[in-house]
Chains A and B, each alone.
Chain A
Amino acid sequence: MPETIASQPPAEFSATGLNFQDLCARLQAYWAVQGCIVQLPYDLEVGAGTMTPETFLRVLGPAPYRVAYLQPSRRPADGRYGENPNRLYKHIQLQVILKPPPADIQALYLQSLEAIGIDLKAHDIKFEEDNWESPTLGAWGLGWQVLLDGLEITQFTYFQQCGGQDLDPVSVEITYGMERIAAFLQNADSIYDIRWNDCWTYRDVRLDDEVQMSVYNFESADVEKLWQHFNLCESEAQKLLASEYPAARTPLMGAYELCLKCSHLFNLLDARGAISVTERVAVIQRVRRLAVACAAQWNQLKKTN
């Protein structure tokens, strides 16, 4: 890393701390024991685990649900060509949804940290206010960022509203930042030094991806075509949402996936600097309208089923 000041040479393969894939496996296993479905990552580009149907749609309506899944999260504007040791275009979240949340949810969460080898008595844990709001999803919640020795490792949110709908029951969303936790456990100063397993590093696995996608996101993505894609996806989603199907055959997921594509295209356009401040609000509104319509239709379907 050019021009980076480290206190010590990067730990090549320090023996301590879980490697990245074991960390992922441990946390998933922990939440499986708590009764969570362990889902696969959603196979579309999303900016956060919150946007996948496993969260966005499942928190709606009255049916209880518990799910945990890893989710690669793409934020084009956060790319740094692999030059910044702490920032990624695509990072990996572990997303946990508990609906409704049990009364000892904070203790359950802290035990998950113990499960990955963190001695809570030897560290400084704080729950610091951090309320969450997504104008694109018409969603908000109250909660905290969890700080481990000053490092934000988790977002902990009680969802109150999603897709413009009041939630009853509410859900708790726990989002772990996996690279940060791994770097912490392995005492690594750069994400790229994280051991993925015992033979390869995060650098080996992901660096090229970060560089190439930064070039694409910031330089070569064709703005005009992105807008065309956006408009196409939007109009197709609108058509699906307006069409009349028997309840059992409603193509809601099709509409929602198109909405997710719009959201990602918006992020790409944003990274390309193609959206002015005033336009921004209007484009967010367009995505939000789709998300809200999907949420309303989901609720409707659950009522009629």
Chain B
Amino acid sequence: MTQPFFIEVGCEEIPARFLASLSRQFYLNLGEELQSSGLRNHQAQLQTAYTPRRLAVWIDQILERQPDREEEIVGPPVKAACDAQGSYTPAALNFAKKFGGAAEDLYKVTTLKGEYIALRRKIAGQSAAEILSGIILRAWNRMELPRSMKWDESGFRFIRPVRWLVVLLGSEVIPVRLGEVASGRITRGHRTLGSQAIELQRADGQAYCNLLEKNFVLVRTEARRERIQAGLRQQTPEIKSQAVEDAELLEILVNLTEFPTVIRGEFNRQFLELPREVLVTVMRNHQRYFALQSGDQGTLAPGFLAVANQDQDRDGLIRQGHERVLRARFNDALFFWRHDRRRSLADRLEDLQHITFHAKLGSYHDKTQRMLRLADPLCEALNIAPLKDAVRAAMRQAKCDLNTDLVIEFTELQGQIGGRIAQAEGQDEMVWQAIYDHYLPLGGSDSIPRDLTGAAVALADKLDTLAGMFAIGEIPSGSRDPYALRRAGNGVVRILIEKQLSVSLQLLQGKALESFELNADAGRTAEAELRRFFSERQESYFQAVNDSASRDEKYPMEEIQAVLQALEVVDALHAASDPYRAWVRLQALHQIRTDQPVIFVQAAEVFKRLRNIVQQAGGIHEWLNQTPHLDDVYPEGIEKALYRQISAITLPTPETIQQKEYEDYLLKTAQCASEVEKYFNEVRVNDPNPDDRKRRLSFLAWATVQLGRVADLGRLSI
């Protein structure tokens, strides 16, 4: 026999951002608890619906009673349970009696600990009505809550107060308590439009939804979403105006209302003088309105769409109210904008002396000067010398919006406001866009500066912050990263890779550190810490790429490690601190290893053979550069031949970094296989003659480094 089951937990408004996840947890937990209790009937689907004021779950059928089951109980060990004749001792008989059995029910089992006696007993299933309360409480208590609260003497905790509870099995109320709230059959409608005492006769989800709809509650999220979407279309009948698409805002509004109605409002065209970002931030983030834009140009129209928690705007009062609030906010912003425009952006540079960047690192004026010092080396390293003037102009003004009224009011628009002021002043497009973009990227999925001028300013800003913070020992560790330095580091790596900029980070970070005038020891420490930090940031970038890639497009961890640990760190080029090169090397390595496994194995074996001998003799560093590596150092024969072959394998130049060239590099490494074979057959490395031995080990060290530049091939499994 089965019965329908229904539960609704009524709450004061649950925050929109947590609603979907709480509902889902409750639904999944209930499903699991019903399953493990044996009440679940697999013909029936568990269903869920929610609004800010309620979490509901129902199912058409659960079993009225758990199935009976058998359980094995293990008793005393055989040693104690049986006497010498093999008959049961009083201990065994007592055990049987205790669990409602007799001597003939006993049998022997072998466990890991030895032989024991045991018996089976039948356990009669309990009725759903008896066990549902426990099931519900377990499901409820297993929810992972964000910051929770107490509201009454019971001390019961939830994200907001629980105020009513409906629990029905068939047409019966199942008694359960959540804190001081006891279950019943009375639910509530919309706060101001519906009845506050609606009786539910049966555990019927569909009837519940219908009844609540009559009381101005759309319990199903799809129903609220559809009503909003229909309203958005309906309120913009003209082809030219459209609500700016915004799935995130839509979900917030779905989770903020029980009966959403779209209301269109207008604002004075004069407000369009404000930067678009300000208008959109006020409408979207502060007021939760959809902005309107004219279809073709994407320019904003002087109107908005608000979503009210009401069935209609009978007297137009809601529209009037929303329009007045927006007018007040826009008036504030316009006041700020016009006030800010009274001075030129560049003119504000001196003001930055009064804005502290960090107590130990000076003001934003100091920071600007440091960024400017990075302009030349950065532009040269990035090969964008012609942009130098634009970069410097943007750097000079990048932080100048920090004391504008608009940025003080809308902190999240820093950079963008400065960019817009520079644009309104008629500054060069490259310059204002670079000011606008230089905080980017703000997160993993955020965009990066649109052009190279912006990229250079963004890099200088982030490199300066990192160098400064590392110089004063503010190094992120574990979950401690109060200055979001990892985000800045990720930004540097992303910009370099995605803009395809090949540059040595070590060189740049060295330049950035110069401004802080550390003594030699402290300088070395900071540099080493930064190098480690950037290596982690690169790894994290590669992992992020992996995370979003499909399963067979992921880069194996050992390949990432091998690329980041390439032996190039040993020599002066430091290309392992060049994120873009590392990225290309990873792709080349992955390509060869996947498509031409035989070639890869050959290359890796060549590498390992050369390296192993040097390692046994004391290591690469011991022997590197013990002899000059010149053609006439090597005697004719295999030694000269192999030297020539390996020294002919060259790396791509910075101008022409291409994956193909790195692949060639690996191919040529593999092609050394027969010569290497011959070398070891003909040459005795550990020759009794010390000069020969030195020359040969030094050669092998050099060759290992030479062939390990794409990746530390020794780290890879073959």
Contact = CB atoms under 8 A, between A and B. Distances in A.
B334 A5 contact: yes
Contacts of B325: 149-151
B271 A125 contact: no
B257 interface: yes
Interface size range of chain B in the complex? 35 or more
Contact of B149 (A158, A169, A279): A158
Given A126-B256, A276-B356, A149 B335 contact: no
A110 B192 contact: yes
A148 B256 contact: no
10 contacts: A3-B338, A85-B331, A100-B152, A123-B317, A123-B321, A126-B257, A126-B309, A129-B16, A149-B325, A151-B325
- Main secondary structure, interface of B, reads mixed
A86 B328 contact: yes
B17 A129 contact: yes
Given A5-B334, A122-B317, A170 B150 contact: yes
B711 to A, nearest CB: 44
B268 A5 contact: yes
B660 interface: no
A124 B328 contact: no
Given A5-B271, A124-B310, A142-B149, A150 B326 contact: yes
Interface string A65-92: 0000000000000000001111100000
B138 interface: no
A127 B13 CA distance: 6
Contact of B15 (A101, A107, A120, A129): A129
Interface in B294-345: 306, 308-310, 314-315, 317-318, 320-332, 334-335, 338
A121 to B, nearest CB: 6
Contact of B321 (A3, A120, A148): A148
Interface size range of chain A in the complex? 35 or more
B309 A124 contact: yes
A227 B397 CA distance: 34
B151 interface: yes
A86 B332 contact: yes
Interface string B258-299: 000001000010110000000000000001010000000000
A230 interface: no
Given A85-B331, A123-B321, 6 more contacts: A86-B329, A86-B331, A124-B322, A126-B257, A189-B328, A277-B356
Given A100-B153, A149-B325, A150-B322, A131 B147 contact: yes
A101 B329 CA distance: 34
Interface string A85-129: 111000000000000110100110010000000001111111111
Contacts of B13: 126-129, 144
B323 A7 contact: yes
A121 B318 CA distance: 10
A169 B151 CA distance: 8
B693 interface: no
Interface in A274-299: 276-279
Interface string A132-176: 000000000110100011110000001010000000111000000
B308 A4 contact: no
B331 A4 contact: yes
B322 to A, nearest CB: 4
Nearest to A120: B192
A150 B321 contact: yes
Interface string A24-49: 00000000000000000000000000
A121 B329 CA distance: 26
In order of increasing CB-CB distance, the 7 nearest A-B pairs are A149-B321, A129-B15, A124-B308, A127-B13, A278-B359, A120-B192, A150-B325
A6 interface: yes
A129 B17 CA distance: 9
